[in-house]
Amino acid sequence: MVIAMKKTHTYTLPSAKEARKRFRGKTPYVDFAQRENLGNIGRGRTYLLSTYGCQGNEADSETIRGILEELGFESTDDERRADLILLNTCAVRESAENRVFGELGRLKQYKRTNPDLILGVAGCMPQDESVTDRILKRYPYVDLVFGTHNIHRLPELLEDAILNKERVIEVLSEEGRLVENLPKRRFHSAKAYVNIMFGCDEFCTYCIVPYTRGRERSRDPGYIIEEIRDLKEAGYQEVTLLGQNVNAYGRDFQTRKYSFADLLEDIAALKIPRLRFTTSHPNDFDDATIAAIARHENIMPHVHLPVQSGSDRILKRMNRKYTKESFLSLTTRLRRAVPSISLTTDIIVGFPGEREEDFQETLDLFEKAGFEGAFTFVFSPRRGTPAASYADETSKEEKKERLMRLNEYVNAAYLKGHERFEGEDVSVLVDGPSKQDEGMLSGYTPHHKLIHFPGDASLVGRIVTVRINEVRSFFMKGEHLEDT
């Protein structure tokens, strides 16, 4: 929907109706490298970018940084001096949104001290028409709003905002295209996220992501493989393949048959030392994928497998398309193929209609699946999703109490997941200095366990061997063994 505003410019606003649509045609494709000179609107200017969302949002932030730096912007941590402050937002739960609105209120002060400051909101929140409407009406000092489908238009949007001093709002709800060869400025020098697909067609009844991210679109494997080959040449040790449902990769290809398992096989063959993927949907996780994980040493033995609930009745109302039994059969097959595998999950408590006996099913499944960690959430109604209008009789207190009970299981599971490595020598990809302990380094093991150990900064970015000598619920400690 395009609405003519005042004299000079137009706003492109999102539409919930458009965001719901799906078509099955070929995805339009744009090559960013074919663009004319991007200009240098950022020369002499600084930017500060904050990211609120999932790994997909972080990957988008790497692209936003890449474009900004090509335009000449330099990064700063000082919000008083930044010429551009951008918030890359998440809409998945109300709490994430509230943080962003709170932050906008706080950042308003810098518009007074720096009248040229451009304050922008990007990402999933603006894709919700009520959010963009709220910003339009109640946050007049926000200069720039764009969504998840038009990051590649950032150079033009910034020119309008900075040179023409316009308030720029461009949020597209169209099905989305695939844009290749976008510049990226990565957050890490040893591990990288690589999008393999965008969007989601699952429409779990609680979830806003299919509306904020649009239709499922898989990248051409050629581009993915090229990107990973380049990363490997640049010294990257670990790649995490990203998608809202990576197991659906390739489902949208029109003329070829090429699945997620095919992609895993082809990428594993590139010999990048560590390969991970997230997020998996239990319903689409096939045996070919299990076989690929078992076959390749460089596919890490950790799968994040969101289950959401253990009650068949609730799973049905969530539109998850599997049952407790079929889920447990999947975890059994995974363990049979990769006996040491570590499984983690996401769980929502207090979904509308969830009774105590449903919750008990969740606790039971949590134990039976042998999870070693979980992100747990209280159901948050999201505008425009079916579950937001389901009758819900459980009180907030009851839901919080269920969350606390579940978290006791989860905390015990983290500890148990660590205890099995006590005294072992494990390989660790060193991330950087420990956030928790000065003089310590931190990194992750193949099973995605966090470990702290004393060591020299020169180890950062390398895979080293560490002997574990202390285990706690949320981390382990160890000593670096000299490499032989």
Please say whether the beta carbons of 449 and 418 come within 8 A: yes
Residue 245 binds to ligand SF4 (criterion: CB under 6 A): yes
Residues that bind ligand SAH (CB under 6 A): 92-93, 206-207, 209, 244-245, 279, 281, 306, 308, 346, 348, 377, 379-380, 382
Please say whether the beta carbons of 378 and 437 come within 8 A: no
Residue with smallest beta-carbon separation from ligand F3S: 53
Site for ligand SF4 in 264-293 (CB under 6 A): 281
Angle at 218 between CA 212 and CA 221, to 5 degrees: 150
Residue 242 binds to ligand SF4 (criterion: CB under 6 A): no
Nearer to ligand F3S, 100 or 224 (CB): 100
Burial class (CB in 10 A: 0-12, 13-18, 19+), 480: middle
Please say whether the beta carbons of 443 and 429 come within 8 A: yes
**Beta-sheet pairing, 168-170 with 118-123:** unpaired
Nearer to ligand SF4, 171 or 305 (CB): 305
Residue 244 binds to ligand SF4 (criterion: CB under 6 A): yes
Tokens representing 332 are 């059994």
Nearest to 303 by CA among 333, 329, 321, 276: 276
| Least CB distance to ligand SF4 at residue 283 (A) | 9
Decide which of ligand SAH, ligand SF4, ligand F3S, none touches 277; Cβ closer than 5 to 8 Å per partner kind: none
Decide which of ligand SF4, ligand F3S, ligand SAH, none touches 53; Cβ closer than 5 to 8 Å per partner kind: ligand F3S
d(CA 170, CA 286): 39
Residues that bind ligand F3S (CB under 6 A): 53-54, 56-57, 90-92, 123-124, 208-209, 212-213
d(CA 19, CA 318): 20
Please say whether the beta carbons of 31 and 190 come within 8 A: no
Tokens representing 385 are 């999703």
Please say whether the beta carbons of 147 and 172 come within 8 A: yes
Binds ligand SF4 (CB under 6 A): choice among 42, 66, 210, 221: 210
What angle do helix axes 55-70 and 154-162 make, rounded to 10 degrees? 60
Please say whether the beta carbons of 112 and 75 come within 8 A: no
Binds ligand SF4 (CB under 6 A): choice among 203, 253, 258, 390: 203
Phi, psi of 70 (to 5 degrees): -65, -30
| Least CB distance to ligand SAH at residue 382 (A) | 5
Decide which of ligand SAH, ligand SF4, ligand F3S, none touches 76; Cβ closer than 5 to 8 Å per partner kind: none
> Before 344, cis peptide (omega within 30)?
no
| Least CB distance to ligand SF4 at residue 308 (A) | 7
Decide which of ligand SAH, ligand F3S, ligand SF4, none touches 240; Cβ closer than 5 to 8 Å per partner kind: none
| Least CB distance to ligand F3S at residue 62 (A) | 14
Nearer to ligand SF4, 159 or 286 (CB): 286
| Least CB distance to ligand SAH at residue 442 (A) | 24
Q: Tell me how far CA of residue 105 lies from CA of 80, 121, 205, 425, in angstroms.
A: 15, 13, 31, 49
Residue 338 binds to ligand SF4 (criterion: CB under 6 A): no
Please say whether the beta carbons of 242 and 196 come within 8 A: yes
Decide which of ligand SF4, ligand SAH, ligand F3S, none touches 212; Cβ closer than 5 to 8 Å per partner kind: ligand F3S
Diameter of the chain measured on Cα atoms? 71
First CA to last CA distance, the chain: 63
Nearer to ligand SF4, 85 or 387 (CB): 387
Phi, psi of 54 (to 5 degrees): -80, -175
| Least CB distance to ligand SAH at residue 256 (A) | 24
Residue 204 binds to ligand SF4 (criterion: CB under 6 A): yes
- Sign of torsion, CA 105 106 109 111? negative
Nearer to ligand F3S, 211 or 453 (CB): 211
Decide which of ligand SF4, ligand SAH, ligand F3S, none touches 56; Cβ closer than 5 to 8 Å per partner kind: ligand F3S
Residue 209 binds to ligand SF4 (criterion: CB under 6 A): yes
Binds ligand SF4 (CB under 6 A): choice among 83, 202, 227, 431: 202
For ligand SF4, the binding residues (CB under 6 A) are 200, 202-204, 207, 209-210, 244-245, 281
